[in-house]
Amino acid sequence: MLGRRRFNAAMNRSLAIAGKKRVGLLKFAALLSCTALMGACAHAPSTHNPMATWVPSPNFDERRPVIIVLHATEQTSVQQSLKTLSTANSGGKVSAHYLVGDDGHIYQLVDDSKRAWQAGGGSWGAITDLNSASIGIEIDNERGEAYTDAQIAAVIRLLGDLCTRLGIPRTQVIGHSDLAPTRKVDPGARFPWKTLADAGFGRWPQGELVDPPAGFDPWLAMAAVGYSLDDRAAAVRAFHRHYRAQDDGNDPQATFDAEDLRILHALNARVVAPAP
Ligand SMILES: [Zn+2]
């Protein structure tokens, strides 16, 4: 938009010139009015609902994310990922708020208050539009490769900053495959969720694991944690990647074992009765 002050200054200059060159004024004024019109047309369309009377209030701020989604880039270098996350590529436009290199360097690509295109379709608990609700962190990692200590330390520092600054609960840190178990496997079975849990991030079973009581329903426990039950084998595979460091591939028969049930029971206890 052409600023009002600059517009006035330009108009004053044009009037001074016009004293000497009156013929040129008409052309210049016409140009300025066109520019002003173009500026008006370039305004973003109003988001005020025409059904309602607009009575603006100053009492608002930016929407705030409530969950953090961790990804693996599954690419060969941070430079390749920076390009992918800031351009249109063969897979369409994608982005993330942050990218953490394997040397621990943190890049930011999208403002925290904006909606990056990173989570796509899926759900976590009652959240069905994860892009609107989340901060996305990409971690430079080829599939199956170990994460470096430097980048996990950087991720933990970044999580601390985001949770503190944006008021995101520290338990609300999940993997892409947790919210989209039928489509995604990142950040993968080698991601050190336990290290994050030891630093206070994510949901992790606390205390000694014990067998659940009779009548324990692992699917209710899965849903209470946040997993979608639309494809139960896919949900189990995602659970195994997150809590057992186990990659089941595409096993359509993936199911729980006794240790899974103990973990789910402990997680469920945390969900139902979180520690003070
Ligand atoms: Zn991802």
Q: Tell me if 62 sits within 8 A of 113, measured CB to CB.
A: yes
For ligand 1, an ion, list residues with CB under 5 A: 71, 176, 186
How many other CB atoms are there within 10 angstroms of residue 41's CB atom? Answer: 7
Give pLDDT, residue 89: 74
d(CA 161, CA 155): 10
How many other CB atoms are there within 10 angstroms of residue 87's CB atom? Answer: 10
Residue 204 Cα to ligand 1 middle (Å)? 21
Q: Tell me if 134 sits within 8 A of 69, measured CB to CB.
A: yes
Q: Which of 62, 74, 138, 259 is catalytic?
A: 138
Digitized pLDDT (tens) for each residue of the chain, 276 residues in all: 334 444 444 444 444 444 444 444 444 444 444 444 444 444 566 789 999 999 999 999 888 899 999 999 999 999 999 999 998 876 778 999 999 999 999 999 999 999 999 999 999 999 999 999 999 999 999 988 999 999 999 999 999 999 999 999 999 999 999 999 999 999 999 999 999 999 999 999 988 999 999 999 999 999 999 999 999 999 999 999 999 999 999 999 999 999 999 999 999 885 554 455
pTM, 2 dp: 0.80
Whether 74 is catalytic:
no
How many other CB atoms are there within 10 angstroms of residue 136's CB atom? Answer: 26
Give pLDDT, residue 88: 83
Residue 45 Cα to ligand 1 middle (Å)? 32
What is the separation of C-alpha 114 from the centre of its chain, rounded to a whole number of angstroms?
9
Where b means 16+ CB within 10 Å and e means fewer, 5-18 reads eeeeebeeebeeee
